[in-house]
Amino acid sequence: MKLTNRQRNLLKHRYIVGMRVDITSYEDATQRILDWAQARKSCYICVANVHMTMEVYDNPAFASVVNSAALVTPDGMPLVWALTALGVKNASRVYGPTLTLYVCEAAAKAGIPIGLYGGTSESLGAFVKFLHQRFPDLQIACKISPPFRPLTPEEDDAYTQQIVESGARILFVGIGCPRQELWMAAHKNRIPAVTLGVGAAFDFHSGRVKQAPSWMQKRGMEWLFRLIMEPKRLWKRYFKHNPRFLLFFVMQWLASKFGWRLFETNSLD
């Protein structure tokens, strides 16, 4: 069932260490994305975790990008716990790889074509095979594996034209944070589609990268699993961001108890 205008405007949020996080669910987020795709709205969706939160804290320009998204979902359990601490009852996780499956299933049923942007040609091929097996009616209008370097303006224009001409109305972008969020914001109004930054979802579902067991995900320990799997790539990120996030959120929470203003704390209630 489509959302009414009133329901769309009821989306509430909180600011966590200066980053907007929307109060949503898999069903709610999927329906919003589907409605926007059917209306050919050009907008972007961020799935947020501690890494993104601290990138927002460190970079005001990036903060503007994330806080201007059509939807910012709580991808990581620490953000769900933060929402709960800020008074949100029944806050729930909306994890990027799982949201990807929800949206693909809904798009297949509605006949809405999707596109894929990111990953290697091998991971994209494996992901497409997975999607066709799981959702036989899903229309995959384009799949693009851009090079792992900054694109020239000519290359970017060519890829953008390919996406537009494909007719994809939902585009999954998997090129990593913060690169994917910056790319989606830069292409808003250039691509008449809903773009979703889903990080490692392509690799997770293609089986190229192992996901943390569900018990670790529920306890907010996915970062530890990924650190064990990829220590050289991830240790600096987690040891830089995780302690600071904990410190800054505790400061924000204490400030809220005493009525002090710390970071951005506006919310739609």
Which residue did the predictor score with more confidence, 206 or 123? 123
Class of 16-208 in CATH: alpha beta
User: For the whole prediction, is pTM greater than 0.85?
Assistant: yes
Residue-wise pLDDT for 91-147, tens only, equals: 999 999 999 999 999 999 999 999 999 989 998 999 999 999 999 999 999 999 999
- Is residue 190 over pLDDT 90? yes
pLDDT at 262: 67
- Give me the phi and psi of 21, to 5 degrees please: -130, 120
Q: What are phi and psi of 13, to 5 degrees?
A: -155, 170
pLDDT for 213: 73
Question: For the chain, which residues make up each domain, given as ranges?
Answer: 16-208
**What mean pLDDT comes out for the span 214-224?**
74
Query: What digits encode the pLDDT tens for the residues 154-166?
Result: 999 999 999 999 9
HEC string for the chain: CCCCHHHHHCCCEEEECCEEEECCCHHHHHHHHHHHHHCCCCEEEEEECHHHHHHHHHCHHHHHHHHCCCEEEECCHHHHHHHHHCCCCCCCCCCHHHHHHHHHHHHHHHCCCEEEEECCHHHHHHHHHHHHHHCCCCCEEEEECCCCCCCCHHHHHHHHHHHHHHCCCEEEEECCCCHHHHHHHHCECCECCEEEECCCHHHHHHCCCCCCCHHHHHCCCHHHHHHHHCHHHHHHHHHHHHHHHHHHHHHHHHHHHHCCCCCCCCCCC
Q: Which of 33, 14, 7 is nearest to 89 (CA)?
A: 14
pLDDT per residue over 62-87, tens digit each?
Answer: 999 999 999 999 998 999 999 999 99
What pLDDT, on a 0 to 100 scale, did the predictor assign at position 2? 55
The Cα–Cα gap between 193 and 2 comes to: 18
Which two structure tokens, joined as six digits, stand for 45? 């969706």
